């Protein structure tokens, strides 16, 4: 590595901002910056990037496009990730998909519900098995972080989702860092749902502590006929320890698989069949409208 | 076989009555125990006055309410009834291990205890002396004096208890001779059979017993034949001694008394280790632990001992898990004075069963570890902080009714 202090400092800043894989050693010994945005979503991980974990230890996110961006195909054991975005941009849905995928691989998960708005029905519709999900509802954030740390120390859970409220006091920065440290030591996957209005100190702490940072932004609504059945979410990999950051993908997050939206889809499909009588095989199409 | 029969009729009612008197609010004359009239439950017991008005054990509470609408309906405290009778059984266990008693308040035999007293004369004196000792042993534990009798068979002993007598020792012939002059209503017959016996004109057990067995079998069927055997002193039902409650206890004197938790932890570890070794040697596990800390104080005003009852997530013989759980309780509730004695008792033992690994749910393999951890966290943070979600009615109109969160340690 370079001995120049200025270069070291610059590299450290780059790595803090964009992840350790952002700056790579080229074949001729020169430093090369990874591309900020890669058009090919399924770009394979280069040989020079050592795979950080075994394939068995990877939990996919449930969205193959996103898994391709992450470099290792999902969330490795012991990684901390933060999903950042405004309200209703799909952070919780993405986290629930990760939970479901982790449970399908035989893990026990926990959800630290600091916002107190965990919806079991939505979790089930995203494929979560409630038998193997612990919901932590502390009296205050400090107790919540202590509870989560004690739970991680026992190593009985493999994935912890922390739903942070936007008005989390900035003094919880240390607790947040400690929790990330606990997760790393206990080799537990940690997913932090980070709202946009979080205090700067907390945001900074998270940006430094996590190994993977995804920024979510809603792009469009998905409509079936007159019914809104989902949304398109742009995911930007802001930091990634395992692959070049800066890549983007667009995910389609549908609303509940049952209930009125499913009914709307069915109605739409029925109408589609009637409208195209004689061409019954034609599938109804979803419309995409800008948000 | 010599059997001593103890009988506390209407035991749940008597326990409730004694409680009410102690609280300064005596019960009314008409009492029905089992729940409130609108509940889907059955009568567990009633007062003798309610019994005379037609209330029966096992009757639906609504029916009992129609019979005695003015009666006081009490919820049944089954755990207290069971605990009282269990305490009486344990007190009687020092007389003989041949002890039979039903501790389930819903069972028909609740309130009756049988002791096999064959050959106890040299140890406890003759039979009247033994009766006096037995009654004295259970008097402080259960309300009211029991009906006591001694017989050669179960039926003979039960009848003797009703009459407060002792059947002379001997065989079936002696028993039959004792029963012969007694009224036939003492036979445990169903109501139709009892009515037929009355129509046939039998008034004493002896008259019924004098019939030939084939004639009784032809007229009354197998149930009648069994009654006939009882009338002739032939009761083949054996005594079924209860399995004693297995308890493991270890204690340690602390000299000088200890105030800090860390030294207590070492003692606790050695006690739980010793007990768990015993359990493991038997291939068993305990589902309940009780830790008692005696505190140091002046002889006049010694603080009350601290008693910590801790149910365990599963029957286990793991000393470290037990120690961790009890230490969490001690941390949450530290002793207020130096501890001079520490006693640990494990109960509710059960055979240690192999753990079934989950074929389709790999999480099952770690469910035990999770349960232990949840138990410890519930002590530290409170049971309502760690929850499990459960769907109730996904189609419910109100969002609150679609699902619920329940304490994880309750499951």
Quickly list H helices, A28-73.
64-70
Domain ranges across chain B = 6-148, 149-243, 248-354, 362-411
What value does the mean pLDDT take over residues B39-45?
A: 91
pLDDT interval class at B281 (50, 70, 90): confident
Is ipTM strictly over 0.85? no
C-alpha B90, offset from chain centre: 11
Contact between chains at B384 and A137 (C-beta distance less than 8 A): yes
Which H/E stretch holds residue B157? helix B154-163
**Residues B238-263: tens digit of each pLDDT:** 898 887 766 789 999 988 888 888 88
The pLDDT value given to residue A179: 94
Low-confidence ranges of chain A (pLDDT < 70): 1-3, 15-56, 256-291
The pLDDT value given to residue B350: 83
A116 lies within 8 A of chain B by CB: no
Nearest chain A residue to B405, by CA:
A135
Percent of chain B scored above 70 by pLDDT?
Answer: 97
Q: What class has domain B6-148?
A: alpha beta
Structure tokens at A212: 């993977």
CA angle B272/B274/B275 to nearest 5° reads 65
Closest-CA distance of chain B to residue A42, Å: 31
**Residues A217-232: tens digit of each pLDDT:** 999 988 887 788 888 9
Contact between chains at B369 and A156 (C-beta distance less than 8 A): yes
Residues forming a β-bridge with A83: A193, A214
The pLDDT value given to residue A162: 96
The pLDDT value given to residue A12: 72
pLDDT at B398 over 60: yes
- Using an 8 Å Cβ cutoff, are B284 and B351 in contact? yes
Which distant-in-sequence residues (6+ apart) come within 8 Å of A175 by Cβ? A141, A142, A145, A146
Measured CA to CA in angstroms, residue A259 lies from A99, A129, A252, A255, B393 at distances of: 22, 19, 19, 9, 12
- Residue closest to B302 by CA, chosen among B339, B332, B272, B261: B339
> Which domains, and CATH codes, for chain A?
41-264 (3.40.50.300)
**Residues A64-95: tens digit of each pLDDT:** 999 998 988 999 999 999 999 998 899 999 99
* CA dist., res. A180 & res. A81, Å (int): 9
DSSP B172-227: HHHHHHHHTTSBGGGS---HHHHHHHHHHT--BHHHHHTS-HHHHHHHHHHHHHHH
Closest-CA distance of chain B to residue A264, Å: 16
* CA dist., res. A9 & res. A5, Å (int): 6
Q: Is B57 exposed, middle or buried (0-12, 13-18, 19+ CB in 10 A)?
A: middle
Nearest chain B residue to A256, by CA:
B394
- B interface residues, A as partner, C-beta within 8 Å: 361-363, 366, 369-370, 373-374, 376-377, 380-381, 384-391, 394, 402-403, 405, 408
Confirm or reject CATH 1.10.30.50 for domain B149-243, answering yes or no: no
The pLDDT value given to residue B409: 76
pLDDT at B411 over 70: no
The pLDDT value given to residue A91: 94
Residues forming a β-bridge with A243: none
**Residues B115-159: tens digit of each pLDDT:** 999 888 888 889 999 999 999 999 999 988 899 999 999 999 999
The pLDDT value given to residue A39: 35
- The CATH topology of domain B248-354 is Dna Ligase; domain 1 (3.30.1490)
A142 lies within 8 A of chain B by CB: no
Average pLDDT, whole number, for chain B? 89
The pLDDT value given to residue B302: 67
Chain A residues in contact with B381 (beta carbon < 8 A)? 138, 143, 146-147, 150
Most confident stretch, A159-163, B183-187, B371-375, B378-382: A159-163
């Amino acid at each position: 590595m370079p001995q120049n202090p200025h270069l070291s400092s610059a590299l450290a800043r780059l790595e803090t901002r964009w992840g350790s894989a952002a700056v790579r050693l080229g074949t001729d010994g020169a430093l090369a910056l990874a591309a900020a945005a890669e058009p090919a979503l399924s770009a394979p991980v280069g040989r020079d990037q050592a795979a950080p974990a075994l394939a068995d230890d990877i939990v996919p996110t449930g969205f193959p496009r996103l898994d391709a961006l992450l470099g290792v195909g999902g969330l490795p054991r012991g990684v901390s990730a933060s999903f950042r975005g405004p309200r209703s941009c799909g952070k919780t849905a993405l986290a629930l998909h990760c939970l479901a995928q982790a449970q399908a691989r035989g893990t026990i998960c926990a959800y630290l519900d600091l916002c107190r708005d965990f919806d079991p029905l939505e979790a089930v519709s995203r494929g979560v098995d409630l038998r193997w999900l612990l919901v932590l509802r502390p009296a205050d954030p400090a107790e919540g972080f202590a509870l989560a740390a004690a739970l991680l120390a026992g190593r009985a859970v493999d994935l912890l989702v922390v739903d942070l409220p936007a008005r989390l006091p900035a003094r919880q920065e240390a607790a947040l860092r400690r929790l990330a440290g606990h997760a790393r030591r206990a080799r537990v996957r940690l997913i932090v749902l980070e709202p946009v209005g979080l205090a700067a100190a907390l945001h900074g702490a998270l940006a430094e502590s996590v190994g993977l940072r995804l920024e979510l932004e809603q792009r469009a609504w998905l409509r079936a006929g007159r019914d809104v059945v989902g949304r398109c979410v742009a995911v930007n990999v802001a930091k990634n320890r395992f692959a070049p950051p800066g890549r983007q993908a667009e995910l389609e997050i549908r609303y509940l698989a049952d209930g009125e939206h499913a009914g709307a889809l069915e109605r739409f499909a029925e109408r589609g069949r009637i409208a195209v009588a004689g061409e019954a095989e034609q599938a109804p199409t979803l419309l995409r409208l800008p948000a | 076989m010599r059997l001593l029969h103890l009988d506390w009729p209407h035991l749940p009612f008597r326990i409730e009555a004694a409680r009410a008197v102690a609280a300064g609010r005596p019960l009314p004359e008409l009492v029905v125990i089992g729940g409130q009239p609108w509940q889907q439950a059955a009568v567990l017991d009633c007062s003798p006055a309610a019994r005379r008005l037609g209330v029966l054990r096992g009757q639906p509470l609504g029916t009992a309410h129609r019979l005695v609408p003015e009666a006081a309906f009490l919820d049944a405290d089954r755990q207290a009834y069971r605990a009282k009778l269990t305490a009486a059984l344990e007190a009687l266990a020092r007389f003989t291990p041949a002890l039979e008693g039903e501790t389930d308040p819903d069972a028909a035999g609740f309130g009756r205890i049988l002791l096999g007293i064959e050959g106890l004369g040299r140890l406890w004196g003759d039979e009247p002396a033994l009766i006096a000792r037995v009654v004295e042993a259970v008097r402080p534990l259960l309300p009211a004096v029991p009906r006591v009798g001694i017989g050669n068979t179960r039926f003979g002993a039960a009848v003797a208890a009703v009459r407060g007598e002792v059947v002379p020792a001997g065989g079936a012939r002696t028993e039959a001779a004792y029963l012969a002059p007694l009224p036939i209503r003492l036979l445990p017959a169903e109501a139709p059979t009892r009515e037929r016996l009355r129509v046939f004109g039998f008034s004493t057990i002896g008259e019924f017993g004098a019939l030939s067995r084939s004639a009784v079998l032809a007229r009354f069927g197998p149930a009648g034949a069994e009654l006939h055997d009882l009338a002739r002193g032939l009761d083949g039902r054996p005594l079924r001694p209860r399995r004693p409650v297995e308890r493991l206890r270890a204690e340690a004197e602390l000299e000088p008394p200890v105030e800090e938790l860390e030294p207590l932890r070492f003692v606790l570890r050695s006690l739980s280790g010793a007990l768990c070794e015993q359990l493991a040697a038997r291939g068993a596990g305990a589902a309940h632990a009780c830790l008692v800390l005696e505190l140091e104080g002046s002889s006049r005003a010694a603080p009350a001992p601290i008693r910590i009852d801790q149910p365990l997530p599963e029957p286990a013989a793991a000393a470290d898990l037990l120690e961790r759980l009890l230490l969490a309780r001690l941390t949450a509730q530290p002793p207020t004075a130096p501890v001079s004695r520490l006693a640990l008792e494990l109960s509710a033992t059960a055979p240690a069963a192999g753990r079934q690994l989950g074929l389709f749910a790999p999480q099952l393999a770690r469910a035990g570890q999770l349960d232990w951890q949840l138990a410890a966290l519930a002590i530290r943070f409170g049971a309502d902080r760690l929850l499990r979600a459960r769907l109730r009615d996904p189609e419910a109109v109100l969002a609150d009714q679609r699902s619920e969160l329940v304490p994880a340690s309750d499951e």
